[in-house]
């Protein structure tokens, strides 16, 4: 059965963006980038909030990005092939292929999507993912922990709920990034 993954890059102190909203603290590294591409290759659907969709859409709207290297071409192809669902009250129309807009997050609709899925689903953004974790729908949380302390910003995990996690995998990369994979437990 396909799984629902929450995947994020975050600082050692738990932030996915700094106080100014920048996400440029993650080191560009072939080893980590290849790992992320391989992970997302099993994804059939990406679930995004508006801001993350705007950030990720460049993998389709900026063709020059994919031409940078074979590695970026592989990532762009993986991203473009998947279905995208964007949760937004303000976006009138999607500007990428295979994309639809949902006005609000409905746990039951996501439960139905998971039941019908033939490939994994990846959810992005701490607010949206937090709602899915709280609804008991997230199967695994994958954190790429970057060796930097930002001292503030947007937390990568919701601070309004308490959830126990079981570490099921870890991997250390040459640049000091750690991928930690957790399974929520009851």
Beta-strand relationship, 154-155 and 15-17? antiparallel
Tokens of 8: 């994020």
Phi, psi dihedrals of residue 29, rounded to the nearest 5°: -145, 130
In a domain, 67, yes or no: yes
In a domain, 72, yes or no: yes
Q: 73 Cβ partners below 8 Å, 6+ apart?
A: 66, 67
Tell me, what CATH number does 79's domain have?
3.40.430.10
In a domain, 153, yes or no: yes
Beta-strand relationship, 165-172 and 4-11? unpaired
How many domains, the chain? Answer: 1
Tokens of 39: 């992970």
In a domain, 8, yes or no: yes
List beta partners, residue 123: 6, 47
Q: State which residues form the domain around 49.
A: 4-178
In a domain, 184, yes or no: no
Model pLDDT for residues 12-69, shown as the tens digit of each residue? 999 999 999 888 887 778 999 999 999 999 999 999 999 899 999 999 999 998 899 9
List beta partners, residue 165: 184
Question: What's the predicted TM-score (pTM) here?
Answer: 0.93
Model pLDDT for residues 78-128, shown as the tens digit of each residue? 999 999 999 999 999 999 999 999 999 999 999 999 999 999 999 998 899
Alpha helices in 42-159 (DSSP H): 50-56, 58-61, 63-66, 70-81, 107-116, 126-134
């Amino acid at each position: 059965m396909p799984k629902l993954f929450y995947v994020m890059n975050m600082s050692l102190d738990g932030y996915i963006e700094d106080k100014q909203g920048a996400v440029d603290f993650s080191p560009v590294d072939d080893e980590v980038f290849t790992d992320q591409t391989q992970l997302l290759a099993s994804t059939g659907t990406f679930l995004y909030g508006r801001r993350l969709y705007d950030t990720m859409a460049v993998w389709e709207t900026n063709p020059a990005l994919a031409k940078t290297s074979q590695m970026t071409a592989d990532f762009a192809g993986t991203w473009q092939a998947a279905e995208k669902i964007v949760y937004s009250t303000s976006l009138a129309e999607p500007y990428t292929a295979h994309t639809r807009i949902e006005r609000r997050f409905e746990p039951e609709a996501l439960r139905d999507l998971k039941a019908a899925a033939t490939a994994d689903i990846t959810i992005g953004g701490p607010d949206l993912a937090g709602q899915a974790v709280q609804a008991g729908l997230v199967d695994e949380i994958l954190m790429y922990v970057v060796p930097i302390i930002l001292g503030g910003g947007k937390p990568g995990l919701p601070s309004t709920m308490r959830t126990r996690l079981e570490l099921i995998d870890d991997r250390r990369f040459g640049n000091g990034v750690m991928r930690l994979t957790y399974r929520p437990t009851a």
